[in-house]
Every structure is written in structure tokens, then in C-alpha cells.
Amino acid sequence: GDSVTQMEGPVTLSEEACLTINCTYTATGYPSLFWYVQYPGEGLQLLLKATKADDKGSNKGFEATYRKETTSFHLEKGSVQVSDSAVYFCALSGQNFVFGPGTRLSVLP
């Protein structure tokens, strides 16, 4: 069945550092790919998405590109802020929704 693998962390960075969270997937067909973010004490909210190969999703300075050849959807940000501290989930939508295990990011001032 479909699956999503992502680096589990935790990841600790200093403010203004570069961020990459790796995500790879296995799926039949042509899934859409998503990154969700969960801030402390809250539910998940959509951060960005890409619906076909080579699409780039972006939001709040975060970006991810749908790479069909490497089955990847890595999340990147050039300069993180303390307010980016959260848990990040990679997910796909095919016949059903599948989530990765989540990566906890802590950004220190």
C-alpha cells in the first residue's frame, strides 16, 4: 500500500538557520503531496501542497517540490524563526490519506 517516510528528528536549529526535512513516498498512481504543521496544543493545518510532478508548493517561506523521479517532497526554508517550532507531517492523498510519522522542529533564539 501507499506509504510516507520522513526524517523523524527531533531537529533543533538556531534562528535564521536553513531547514530541510526529507520526505519520500511510495504510491501507486499519481498522488497529491502535502505538508501539514502542528503548533503546540493545536490541530494539524495545511502548510503547502503539490498536485503533480514538478509542482512547487510554497507558503510562509516554506517550499517543497514534487519530484516524481526520486519520489520525494522535501520541505525547505531558508531562514527559520522561533515561531516555526512545531511538528511537521508529510502526507499523500491517493486512494486514501497517508501521513508520515512527523518531525519535531525546535528553533532556538
Partner 1 sequence: EAQVTQNPRYLITVTGKKLTVTCSQNMNHEYMSWYRQDPGLGLRQIYYSMNVEVTDKGDVPEGYKVSRKEKRNFPLILESPSPNQTSLYFCASSLSVAFSYNEQFFGPGTRLTVL
Applying CB under 8 A, which residues contact partner 1? Answer: 30-32, 34, 36, 42-46, 49, 51, 89, 93-97, 99-102
Question: What is the nearest approach in angstroms of partner 1 to the Cβ of residue 94?
Answer: 6
The smaller minimum CB distance to partner 1, of residues 64 and 102, is found at 102
- Of 70, 77, 67, nearest in space to 15 by CA: 77
**Residue 41: is it exposed, middle or buried by C-beta count within 10 angstroms (0-12/13-18/19+)?**
exposed
The smaller minimum CB distance to partner 1, of residues 38 and 72, is found at 38
The smaller minimum CB distance to partner 1, of residues 15 and 54, is found at 54
Question: What is the nearest approach in angstroms of partner 1 to the Cβ of residue 62?
Answer: 15
- Of 69, 61, 74, nearest in space to 100 by CA: 74
The smaller minimum CB distance to partner 1, of residues 50 and 80, is found at 50
Question: What is the nearest approach in angstroms of partner 1 to the Cβ of residue 108?
Answer: 22
Q: Tell me the Cα Rg of the chain.
A: 13
> Which residues are 105's β-sheet partners?
11, 86
